[in-house]
Amino acid sequence: MMKRMLFLAGMVVLVSCGQYKRNQARSLEEFCTMLEKKISHVDDIYRFFPKSVEEIKDYSACAILRAQRDLDKLQAIPASERTFDNTARALDKIGGTFSNIHQTLGALEMVSPDAAFRDAAHQESLKMSAFSVDAFSNKKLYNAFKEYVEGNAKKETLNAEQRYFLDESMKDFKRAGLMLPDDQLDEVKALKKELSELGQKFDRNVAEDKSKIAIREQDLAGCNQNLIDSLKRDEQGNVVVGCDYPTVFEVLGHCSVGETRKKLFKAFNNRAYPANVDILKALIAKRDALARKLGFESYAALDIDSEMAKTPARAERFILDLAARANVKAQQEIDLFKKELPEGIALDAQGRFYPWDLGYVKEIYKKKHFDVDDRAIAEYFVAEPTLNGVFDIYQKFLSLEFAFIKPAWAWHDDVKLLEVRERDTKALRGYVFLDLHPRDNKYSHACHCGLVQSIKVTRPDGTVEKTPSVALVIANFPQGNGTHPALLKHQQDVETFFHEFGHAMHFLLGSTELISFAGTAVKTDFVEMPSQIFEEWMFDKSLLRGLSKHYKTGASLPDEMIDKIIALKKFDSGLFITRQCFFSMLSLDLYKAGEHKDLDALSQSLAQKMVPQVAVDLEAHMYASFGHLVGYGAKYYGYMWSKVFALDLFYALKDQGLVNPATGAVFINKILGKGGSEDPNNLLKDYLGREPQQDAFFQDLGITT
């Protein structure tokens, strides 16, 4: 599974890269030996990370040295001597070992506060990307693998996971262009190298963007005073408002000054603009050229060929059908808002809301009709005890034990480390780094990064060991100050953390025989399914009651407020889905056939079509910071695609108990623990005992048409 092995986040082998000074070693080879030590204790994971610019270079050099040496050895094996272990499993390990360092450097570039460190990680990552294209997409390797598949593999007794690996790997080799003549394959490789560099430039421009506005304090009327007090002032005494998520959500949802909302909306939706315009255009053009050279009509066709949806046409039908049903409810929601326009809110000439007003209108409506203010709800979710409560839920359901360990080393003082063990056996399952607060030059959204995955190792006595994993969860939650604690908003923060930590649990518990299938190494339009299931825990009445505790009184959320939170899930579900459908269609349409796309015209026309109730801001260029256009390519539809499956499975699971360890064991055995070792369609049918359905999705979101 070459594409999955080398180019998706999280496809990394377990290695312990040392806090190790190469000038103490006799050779780079000796340094490389350090990279294959098994993780068995917390101290091992600190050796996993490079600590300096010099070590970053050594790690990269080592990865390239080892990969080339081991590939040469694999390719030299005579056809008659090829076996699954010395060819297929060997390739799986080589690719995983290489990706380990590659992905770790990428993660450190996202979070390191040191500019020189980020620069070095960036440059070495580019070097490794270029090497991987040449090393893993060459005909000698392909012929060696094909030689085994068409020869000795037919004589060996292989299990289902091993057969699946051979089938998927051959498809990936062909999608990589290994059937092409040499000159055409060289062109494919050159395009892939250029695309890797473009993608990293795009992401870095977003991470390092410093967009902000400076306004008078009175122009933040309606915003939380604690937030206002935490913001910096410029030389003129104006408040400097940045584009981090906690600040943007607060201002767009609660600031009563329309001009402030407008200014921040424009700043936020113009991050990395215009720097990323030419980069994105080049990326689209080169991806289109790549697809055509590989025999596909478009990059979308190439990108989705290996997914559950199989074709862009099927993904588009799914999204357009979903949008049509959701738009009926979205219009009903808009009609309700229009009946009671807050003071200072005006519609455009076509009767549409301005995009910077809609969040504010929603909050006013919720306060009036639900008697709910998301900031009042946040008073029940103090950061530290809330996160501990989240961990408690996961521990009960998945039969795990968590323990905080003070990191002996981390890239920032805010970083925390969680040790994860099986509750009954005390077996170590892995570690999760938590980097949860915003800072300059850090990745500005929330995500999970898999760094070391768990694989099943069969011991000589026949018993199976599941090796430990290492994961990283990145978020940008508010921080408290000396007089006021950090409070988490239910949907924006608590639900988000359930989602990202769900990815981490999927990664830690997805133990497979082969590295290429471990953890979250599943098809992209399935990868969000488990984490979206875990989001639903935050709409269960008993769990909300147990998790919440007011920062002053210690009281849990009252039942009537919990009922309102649950009701609010359906409150603006139509607008939420149509917005997601807009993002999905944007990613599909940008990667349809054709190398030249008018980014503004396409995004604006789609916004008008998918969310017609909201005016389009012609001065906003959100695509310049929409990182999924790089990482997910044409596959953003996968969020909604997997959400349908998630809700279908969730209600089947809920009937058995959301903190029932027996239910959790089945969920691990049939979903999480499988990683990508089986076709997701089979996993769904096996768990449900039937074909998946959409009924639960629409019912849950209150869409009845």
- Shared domain for 145 and 217, answered yes or no, is no
Point out which residues pair with 212 in neighbouring strands.
242
Cβ neighbours of 440 (radius 10 Å)? 10
Backbone angles phi, psi at 470, to 5 degrees: -135, 130
Confidence at residue 540, expressed as pLDDT on a 0 to 100 scale? 95
Point out which residues pair with 428 in neighbouring strands.
421
Quick check: is 191 in a domain?
no
**9-23, 208-222, 247-261: range with lowest mean pLDDT:** 9-23
Rg (CA), the chain: 25
* Domain-ending residue, one of 149, 175, 201: 175
Task: Name which of 109, 111, 8 is nearest 446 in CA terms.
Answer: 111
Quick check: is 19 in a domain?
yes
CATH number at residue 166: 1.20.1050.40
- Shared domain for 403 and 494, answered yes or no, is yes
Confidence at residue 290, expressed as pLDDT on a 0 to 100 scale? 98
Confidence at residue 272, expressed as pLDDT on a 0 to 100 scale? 97
What is the SS3 assignment for 382? strand
- Shared domain for 31 and 116, answered yes or no, is yes
- Shared domain for 567 and 522, answered yes or no, is yes
pLDDT at 569 over 50: yes
460 band by pLDDT with thresholds 50, 70 and 90: confident
Quick check: is 508 in a domain?
yes
Point out which residues pair with 614 in neighbouring strands.
353
- Cα→Cα distances 288→182, 343, 524, 633, Å: 20, 48, 20, 11
Report the number of distinct structural domains present in the chain.
3
What is the SS3 assignment for 298? coil
Quick check: is 195 in a domain?
no
- Shared domain for 134 and 260, answered yes or no, is no
Q: How many CA atoms lie within 13 A of 3 on its CB side?
A: 21
Cα torsion 595, 599, 603, 605 to 10°: value is -80
Q: Which residues in 117-128 are b (16+ Cβ under 10 Å) and which e?
A: bbebbbbbbbbb
484 band by pLDDT with thresholds 50, 70 and 90: confident
Block residue for tokens 């030059």: 441
Average pLDDT over residues 662-690: 97
**AA identity, residue 391:** F
26 band by pLDDT with thresholds 50, 70 and 90: very low
Alpha carbon 150 to its chain centroid, in Å, reads 37
Task: Name which of 104, 41, 33 is nearest 66 in CA terms.
Answer: 33
4 band by pLDDT with thresholds 50, 70 and 90: very low
Confidence at residue 100, expressed as pLDDT on a 0 to 100 scale? 82
Average pLDDT over residues 78-104: 94
pLDDT digits (tens, 9 = 90+) for 108-167: 999 999 999 999 999 999 999 999 999 999 999 999 999 999 999 999 999 999 999 999
Confidence at residue 430, expressed as pLDDT on a 0 to 100 scale? 97
Confidence at residue 479, expressed as pLDDT on a 0 to 100 scale? 87
pLDDT at 177 over 60: yes
**45-59, 268-282, 519-533, 570-584: range with lowest mean pLDDT:** 45-59
Average pLDDT over residues 4-9: 36
- Cα–Cα distance between 549 and 306 in angstroms, integer? 46
| Domain residue limits at 395 | 383-571
Average pLDDT over residues 322-348: 96
Average pLDDT over residues 17-32: 48
Cβ neighbours of 192 (radius 10 Å)? 22
- Cα–Cα distance between 705 and 700 in angstroms, integer? 13
Block residue for tokens 């081991």: 70
- Output the average pLDDT for the chain: 93
The Cα angle at residue 63 between residues 61 and 68, in degrees rounded to 5: 100
Quick check: is 593 in a domain?
no
What's the DSSP call for residue 676?
T
Confidence at residue 235, expressed as pLDDT on a 0 to 100 scale? 95
- Shared domain for 388 and 473, answered yes or no, is yes
**Higher pLDDT among residues 374 and 592, named by residue:** 592
Point out which residues pair with 381 in neighbouring strands.
549
Q: How many CA atoms lie within 13 A of 495 on its CB side?
A: 16
What's the DSSP call for residue 387?
H
- Shared domain for 474 and 549, answered yes or no, is yes
* Domain-ending residue, one of 571, 593, 612: 571
Confidence at residue 32, expressed as pLDDT on a 0 to 100 scale? 67
Beta strands in 224-321 (DSSP E): 239-242
| Cis check: omega of the bond before 468, within 30 degrees of 0 | no
Contacts of range 179-185, beta carbons closer than 8 Å, 24 or more positions apart: 180/293, 180/294, 182/139, 184/293, 185/137, 185/139
Quick check: is 553 in a domain?
yes
CATH number at residue 409: 3.40.390.10
Task: Name which of 305, 405, 646, 656 is nearest 503 in CA terms.
Answer: 646
* Domain-ending residue, one of 228, 248, 268: 268
576 band by pLDDT with thresholds 50, 70 and 90: very high
What is the SS3 assignment for 57? helix
- Cα–Cα distance between 132 and 365 in angstroms, integer? 53
- Cα–Cα distance between 245 and 476 in angstroms, integer? 7
Confidence at residue 70, expressed as pLDDT on a 0 to 100 scale? 95
- Shared domain for 416 and 485, answered yes or no, is yes
Confidence at residue 97, expressed as pLDDT on a 0 to 100 scale? 86
- Shared domain for 151 and 243, answered yes or no, is no
Task: Name which of 340, 364, 334, 349 is nearest 261 in CA terms.
Answer: 364
Non-local CB neighbours of 352 within 8 Å, separated by 6+ positions:
612, 613, 614, 615
Sign of CA dihedral 144, 146, 147, 151: positive
Task: Name which of 670, 672, 675 is nearest 514 in CA terms.
Answer: 675
Q: Cβ distance 217 to 230 under 8 Å?
A: no
Quick check: is 23 in a domain?
yes
pLDDT at 353 over 70: yes
22 band by pLDDT with thresholds 50, 70 and 90: very low
- Shared domain for 51 and 117, answered yes or no, is yes
27 band by pLDDT with thresholds 50, 70 and 90: low
pLDDT at 28 over 70: no
Confidence at residue 162, expressed as pLDDT on a 0 to 100 scale? 98
pLDDT digits (tens, 9 = 90+) for 31-84: 666 666 778 889 989 888 999 999 999 999 999 999 999 999 999 999 999 999
Alpha carbon 532 to its chain centroid, in Å, reads 12
Cβ neighbours of 403 (radius 10 Å)? 11
- Cα–Cα distance between 512 and 673 in angstroms, integer? 7
Non-local CB neighbours of 680 within 8 Å, separated by 6+ positions:
308, 522, 523, 526, 529
Alpha-helical regions (H) of 76-159? 90-111, 115-136, 139-149
Point out which residues pair with 549 in neighbouring strands.
381
- Shared domain for 113 and 242, answered yes or no, is no
- Shared domain for 154 and 76, answered yes or no, is yes
17 band by pLDDT with thresholds 50, 70 and 90: very low
User: How many residues are recorded in the chain?
Assistant: 705
Quick check: is 37 in a domain?
yes
